A and B are shown apart, each in its own frame.
Chain A
Amino acid sequence: MSGNPGPELLEQFSSRAAAMGAELVVVPRLAEASAFIESFCTKQSLKKVLISPQARKLLGGSKLPLLDTENLKNLDEAELGIVAADYGIAETGTLVHFHEHDLEKLVGVLPLTCISVLEAGKIVRSLEELVPEINEQLGRTGLPGPQVSLVSGPSRTADIECRLCIGVHGPARLVILVVEGARE
């Protein structure tokens, strides 16, 4: 994957994601991403951390303590979920996930805080540009229940007095960790 998204795409993605209520952190390389996550956990004194298989693959030898994802209750007890997004949509500040397993999805939904790692080179202008990839993912029959999910900002509701509240049934904080450099 080429590491040249064009700075204007990253800029647009960042401002739209922020408008959706996400927090943006840009780091130059994957190594700094791991370092950021570790210091984030220390600062927020987060002990129970979950990482999705995809994020673990991306971040490599992370020293993070992991929870057993086979038991759903464990998922619920986690304070932080770390996921990796497959793509970013500049137009709406959206993260695109191609899930291999539906528990992956829950890593991003259950904990109150979610860190989503996104490579800057994976940012495209609009969702429509990804139609071939989405169709390929959803058309896979070898894999049970192929899914694509789009996440834009934290979980929200305006159901009481039309006032915006975040963190209803999903995370209240969504931190998008953009890795600028190409994969080494």
Chain B
Amino acid sequence: MRIDSRVRAALQGFTANYYVNRAKSFQECDFEKLREQFAQVRGRALERNSELLDQFQKNAEAHGSRVLRARDGDEANNMILDIMKKHGAKKLFKSKSMVSEETRLNEFLLAHGIEPRETDLGEWIVQLRSERPTHMVLPAIHLTRREVAEVFSARLGREVPSELASLVQVAREELRREIFEAEAGLTGANALVAENGAMMMITNEGNGRLVSTVPPVHIVLTSIEKVLPTMNDALLMLRLLPRSATGQTITSYVSFLAGPHRQSQYIILLDNHRSELLAEPVFRQVLRCVKCSACLNFCPVYLLLGGAGYAHIYMGGIGTLLTAWLHGLRESREMANLCLGCHRCEQVCPAKIKIADLVIDLRQRLNQELDKPALKSIAFDVLISEPQRLERIFAVSHSTALISRSRDGFARKLPRPFRRYDHFRSLPGPSAKSFSRVFGEEFSAAGQKGDRGMLKIYAGCLVEHFYPETGIASAKVLRKLGWQVEIIEAGCCGFPAAASGFSDAAKKAFARLMENAAGDESIITFCPTCTTMLTHLGPKLLPGGEAEALAKRVFPFSRFIFEREHEALKQLLEGRKLDGKTTWHDSCHQKYMLQAGEASRGLLKMLAGGDFVELPGADSCCGFAGTFSLDHPEISEALLAEKLEAIRKSGAQTVAVDCPGCLLQIRGGCHRQKLKVRVRHIAELAAELCAEKD
């Protein structure tokens, strides 16, 4: 996967302002409430889609529009061609339409002797360069003004200066020169209002108004999911869309058109497999998408690759899901592997689409209906079928010095063919003794005296085999707080298999975990990813009372300590604080899946006192993301590089994390780059301060 450094820089420049503007634009409204409301409205509209389309059609026809239904892209393109022929039109003036990208309308028209002419500035630039848009809202974000000047100069046959004002002037003058002779215009629609047959169009430049008003023929190319029952529903969408797309409270122009005035108006409603998607109870919510791109603007992978690297036609995670239905499962396969599973997109989607969750479901579908990736099949088999097998593999590795562990815990460098996995981060060597062994030796003999009752610990694979010290530290803190502690030995929780769409292997692992975790004690975890398996993915795979009861018993370590043991820990600490500046990296699953980011931060602030500094971009993935960093080491490396740069700039001596995966990635990166920074699981930092009492 190629990372285009220019696209990356352009997107970073854009998002820096966008994040601020978006947050500001939502200041006066309750985003959570609005999006819940909109998700419901759009969800109910999808359930009644065919009835609402009929109602829209009836009302639009009463206003004099011709409404056409297109089964697929080809049919829609042919309808447009027929309209053009009927009116003797040779050139089609277009305002921005993603649906026309979906049907590849421009290529089709060119092949049939009709010239498509994009009028949105960004789309026009991209068209003149024979490229595709790299962003749904900002199609030419990958280009500099100099390149735009070059393409305009070539078009006009004269030198166009590269000042923004001159470039915009060219766009204005050229369109004005042509539009009054235009025979036909094409626009999209952001929403269709069933109750009055009106279409809502949201734009900024004003080209949409020219294209829909000046030419004698107006074609609207839109898709069936856009129909909403009432005007109020459309206005609710209008509250969310511009704020999500660009951070504007409203765009320069919003039009509601109910029928043509002077022109002939054709409204083409494209299905293109959306009806099949509507019939999918789990995936149907994908059609709640309003194409605002907020999910892309928050996607760490999209921000690296842009629309050229992470798209079929629709982009990013949501694009993966749309592609699977609109263009076929096979076309979505490569994209489906590009999702980190960080779930950051889900926090900002104005339609509350569970994008990352659905990508996991899609991977399962892909494995069922296409061929399974062979290597992963074997790996999950080894990892899951028999937990002891992993320990035996590591034992053999140790005794034969295949994978050695140096005193600082790192493995020696991998052989050359595998260097892409560890040249940017040192990998840990497996611990000589597993966490369960160390735990047995340290605590069982001593007996348990805690008077607060019994807690169970579920460590997860990374702590079990690589970071036993994290598990031991947590157990020490809990024991000091007066709890008795036992561990659940169950091997892998099944998350890596579940996230890769291997649901059978995942079910097997989760069922075993449920069995071994039987009881009613609270369960403390220190890996947010395992915790996500216990509370979200597991219960989805094996629904029922047993999984639900288990989920309720689970507490991530920092949430348990911060929310339930706050005062007790304070007493235990007796005012002791960590030395030096400490900063915090958010583990994606802790923040976005368990919604426990604030508890983690709160706990760290208790430990670090006044020497806590915020890490810029703390809530963006470090690039580990489990099997992702093996599938896409270049992306993993680039994300880690950003994280390390932020750490370096923060001047912190200690970086605290909440997840053994982030620990592996960030500690390994600091080691390779010889950064003098301590990277610790928060449980170890808590244990350090508690231990000083002894």
Contact = CB atoms under 8 A, between A and B. Distances in A.
A145 B121 contact: no
Contacts of A102: 213, 261-262
Contacts of B207: 168-169
Most-contacted residue by chain B among A141, A160, A167 (CB, 10 A): A160
A175 to B, nearest CB: 15
Given A92-B249, A138-B256, A155 B204 contact: yes
B616 interface: no
Interface in A113-172: 127-128, 131, 134-135, 138-139, 141, 144-163, 165, 167-171
Contacts of A146: 63, 258-259
Contact of A131 (B13, B164, B206, B235): B235
Interface stretch (B139-147, B420-428, B466-474, B493-501): B139-147
B140 A168 contact: no
B175 A169 contact: yes
Given A94-B250, A138-B258, A159 B232 contact: no
Interface stretch (B166-174, B282-290, B573-581, B636-644): B166-174
A159 B249 contact: no
A18 interface: no
Interface residues of A, number: 48
Contact of B164 (A76, A150, A163): A163
A44 to B, nearest CB: 19
B64 A144 contact: yes
A151 B62 contact: no
B31 to A, nearest CB: 16
Contacts of B172: 167-169
B249 A162 contact: no
B260 interface: yes
Given A92-B250, A155-B205, A156-B204, A168 B168 contact: yes
A160 B17 CA distance: 15
B262 A152 contact: no
A4 B688 CA distance: 68
Interface in A85-110: 91-92, 94, 101-102, 105-106, 109-110
A31 interface: no
A57 B120 CA distance: 34
B214 A138 contact: no
A145 B209 contact: no
A73 interface: yes
B144 A169 contact: no
B23 to A, nearest CB: 16
7 contacts: A16-B249, A76-B180, A91-B28, A127-B235, A148-B256, A155-B253, A162-B141
Interface of B: 10, 13-14, 17, 28, 62-64, 119-122, 125, 138-141, 143-145, 148, 164-165, 167-168, 171-172, 175-176, 180, 193, 195-198, 204-207, 209-210, 213-214, 231-232, 235, 238, 246, 249-262, 265
**Shortest beta-carbon contacts, A-B, top 5:** A170-B206, A159-B122, A145-B261, A102-B261, A169-B206
